[in-house]
Amino acid sequence: MRAMIQCMHENNYQNLAFPSKEKELQILCDSLGVANTTKTEIKIGSVHNNERLSTLLSDKTVNLDELNFLMKRLDSFDQKELATFYAAAYAEKAETMTELINLSFNTHCYSLVADFSDLNAVGRQMYLTEQMAVSTEELESLDGRKYFESMIAENPNPVITPYGVVYRNSNEIVQTYDGRNFPYYQYENTPITLLLSAQNRSEYLYLPMEQSEMNKALERLGAKSLEEIHWQVEEHNIPDNLADMAVKDQSDLYALNQIAKIFKEMGQREVISLSELAAFVKITKAEELKTLAGCMYEFESFPDIHTPEQYGKYMICESGRFEYDENLEDYIDFKFYGQDKISRETGAFTSKGYLLYHGYDLEMQGILNKNIGLKIKELHEPQELKLYMPLRAVTYQDENDYGDLYQVDYEIDVYSEELSSYEDEIRTAIINHRLDDEKRGMMDYYDEPDTVNAKVQKYLFDVEVIDGELMGVAVLTLNAPLNQGELIKIKEAIEGQCSDGFGEGLEQREIKCNGKEVYVSLWNSHDWSLKTAEEMGITEQKYEMKFGGM
């Protein structure tokens, strides 16, 4: 349950969706002109489209971190739990953030009844709430009506609330939050959880963290620096073979945070792939693991392939790259093909199988050479390649005879001569449309483990005036020249981003251009194409195309 809350401080106000990440809290504090510390308080002006939460919180001055923690708790609740929470808050007259946070850990101590039409079902639900977990057989055999009557007897004065009637059960209410140090709560998937302690107090940090989160944790512990506290890894969800090198015996908290950041950005499939790849490369150190994680897209692994003949047979018969007739098996020299292919690749046989490396990272190649004896290939200086595309721009504003703009309900094309004068505004909009965590630009969305992924270090969208026409341009940084097949593949990937990905989002953004609202598309031009400078006849850009191998 995320909620848009109007936050106020003195004469400033800002809307923010809660729960929020620490970066978003920092932006909120900056906009309100208040420091982001453990003592930061804001006044809640209103809660949009959530009447129950608005009734509970509106016009209150609250601690910002406590509000965010409470909203994390409520975001994990289902509709029954939420209804019980609001009803219990009403019944207990819970007002402060400390009371509300503690209540969020004790909803199992209350039963809420809003419909008395089926007392057997009501009683069973009350029993389930009290026990928290029971078997299906036990619940079905329970006389729910009888249990309900016993609850009535134990609650001679149930509380009637706007949400239903609240009954207390036999579960003991526990004060989990002391008003200073937040209790353990795993709100989202966290690679590493730390337990910090000092002066008989404890605090949890969920890595990766922002520096402000560390500062606040120290402040709540009454410490001024890391040297004044004890910390330990409380839990992690990193595969054991990786945790042994990345987490175990790690004494640098900030290095651990970098490891957590790497795993936070990965999906489960990527974590499994990294674990398997680390075994291939014989990674034993945290620094090597960080390098490997940044280059894992540059590898292909072939488990249980240990000879050129096995490799050749796999590539011809099983890889799907060839049309293969099993009747021809006796006539194919798999060993010769495997040896020939290996001679043109950067690969090595390991105890796990054959490992093929397409990359150009110097540090990674050093690790490969040291760990598995992989020969280092010749490195190339990064190159730049630009691929150009026509733009289409429209506006929904027309100009009257006096030069004033007025709104219309149809598209009006913005033509090349006018559009070229908006180069700076459109470039700024494209830059603002990028995501902060895209390390490789749009290549973050290219997930094929092939030579294209290895050779294209990154690419970003931009605009450039060519012969008086403003054009879109994909600016590629290359580790090595692309052959013709690789160029076709990266063009297809860029075309997909122009039509459905990055471009689709961009064309919905209103761009202010000299007072006019303009919408720019990388795709919707009737004569759309994607061309190199050479294909467009632009002589300023020099780019040598190489055909054939890597």
85 backbone dihedrals φ, ψ, rounded to 5°: -60, -50
Q: pLDDT at position 379, please?
A: 60
Q: pLDDT at position 123, please?
A: 86
Number of structural domains found in the chain: 4
When pLDDT is averaged across residues 517-542 and rounded to a whole number, the result is: 82
Q: What is the pLDDT of residues 7-44, one digit of tens each?
A: 999 989 999 999 999 999 999 999 999 999 999 999 99
Q: How many CB atoms lie within 10 A of CB 130?
A: 19
Model confidence at 276, pLDDT cuts 50, 70, 90, reads very high
Considering the domain architecture, whether residues 424 and 530 belong to the same structural domain is answered as: yes
Considering the domain architecture, whether residues 112 and 88 belong to the same structural domain is answered as: yes
Q: What is the pLDDT of residues 329-357, one digit of tens each?
A: 888 999 999 999 999 888 999 999 999 88
CB-count burial class (<10 Å; 0-12, 13-18, 19+) for 433: middle
Torsion of CA 193, 194, 195, 199, to 10 degrees: -150
Considering the domain architecture, whether residues 395 and 366 belong to the same structural domain is answered as: no
Torsion 206-209-212-218 (CA) sign: positive
Min mean pLDDT across 213-217, 289-293, 480-484 is at 480-484
Q: Residue 176 domain-assigned?
A: no
Of 276, 295, 432, the C-alpha closest to 361 is 295
Q: Residue 113 domain-assigned?
A: yes
Q: Is the peptide bond before 208 cis (omega within 30 degrees of 0)?
A: yes
**Furthest-apart CA atoms within the chain: distance in Å:** 91
Q: What is the pLDDT of residues 410-431, one digit of tens each?
A: 889 998 888 999 999 999 999 9
Q: What is the DSSP string of 199-247?
A: TTEEEEEEES--HHHHHHHHHHHT-SSGGGSEEEEEEE-S-HHHHHHHT
- Answer for the pair 373, 322: CB distance below 8 angstroms, yes or no: no
Considering the domain architecture, whether residues 304 and 423 belong to the same structural domain is answered as: no
Q: Is the peptide bond before 382 cis (omega within 30 degrees of 0)?
A: no
Q: pLDDT at position 401, please?
A: 80
Q: How far lies 471's CA from each of 384, 390, 442, in Å?
A: 17, 5, 18
Q: Is the pLDDT reported for residue 546 higher than 50? A: no
Instruction: Out of 31-40, 260-269, 523-532, give the one with best mean pLDDT.
Output: 31-40
Min mean pLDDT across 102-106, 170-174, 399-403 is at 399-403
Considering the domain architecture, whether residues 326 and 390 belong to the same structural domain is answered as: no
Min mean pLDDT across 201-210, 319-328, 391-400, 462-471 is at 319-328
- Answer for the pair 180, 201: CB distance below 8 angstroms, yes or no: yes
Q: Residue 173 domain-assigned?
A: no
Q: Residue 520 domain-assigned?
A: yes
Considering the domain architecture, whether residues 403 and 530 belong to the same structural domain is answered as: yes
Q: Residue 550 domain-assigned?
A: no
Q: Is the pLDDT reported for residue 278 higher than 90? A: yes
From 246, 277, 294, the end of a domain falls on: 294
Q: How far apart are CA 189 and CA 20, in angstroms?
A: 15
Q: How far lies 316's CA from each of 18, 335, 338, 350, 357, in Å?
A: 55, 11, 9, 21, 20
Q: pLDDT at position 404, please?
A: 84
Considering the domain architecture, whether residues 319 and 218 belong to the same structural domain is answered as: no
Considering the domain architecture, whether residues 157 and 231 belong to the same structural domain is answered as: no
Q: How far apart are CA 286 and CA 303, in angstroms?
A: 24
From 294, 324, 355, the end of a domain falls on: 294
Considering the domain architecture, whether residues 94 and 116 belong to the same structural domain is answered as: yes
Write down the residue that tokens 């063009």 correspond to. Answer: 491
Considering the domain architecture, whether residues 289 and 404 belong to the same structural domain is answered as: no
Mean pLDDT for the chain?
89
When pLDDT is averaged across residues 282-303 and rounded to a whole number, the result is: 90
Q: Residue 229 domain-assigned?
A: yes
Say which CATH number the domain at 304 has.
1.10.10.1190
For the record, the structure tokens of 113 come out as 């009844």
Query: Which amino acid makes up residue 432?
Result: N
Q: What is the pLDDT of residues 433-491, one digit of tens each?
A: 887 666 788 998 887 877 788 889 899 999 999 988 999 999 999 887 888 889 999 99
Q: Residue 180 domain-assigned?
A: no
For residue 178, the 8-state DSSP code is: -
When pLDDT is averaged across residues 394-400 and rounded to a whole number, the result is: 88
How far is C-alpha 318 from the chain's CA centre? 35
Q: What's the residue count for the chain?
A: 550
Q: What is the pLDDT of residues 52-107, one digit of tens each?
A: 999 999 999 999 999 999 999 999 999 999 999 999 999 999 999 999 999 999 99
Considering the domain architecture, whether residues 26 and 130 belong to the same structural domain is answered as: yes
When pLDDT is averaged across residues 40-53 and rounded to a whole number, the result is: 93
From 294, 314, 332, the end of a domain falls on: 294
Task: Determine the structural domain holding residue 343 and report its residue range.
Answer: 296-372
Q: Residue 111 domain-assigned?
A: yes
Min mean pLDDT across 130-134, 302-306, 441-445 is at 130-134
Q: How far apart are CA 396 and CA 508, in angstroms?
A: 13
Q: pLDDT at position 549, please?
A: 38
Q: Is the pLDDT reported for residue 548 higher than 50? A: no
Q: Between 448 and 199, whose confidence is greater?
A: 199
Considering the domain architecture, whether residues 306 and 290 belong to the same structural domain is answered as: no
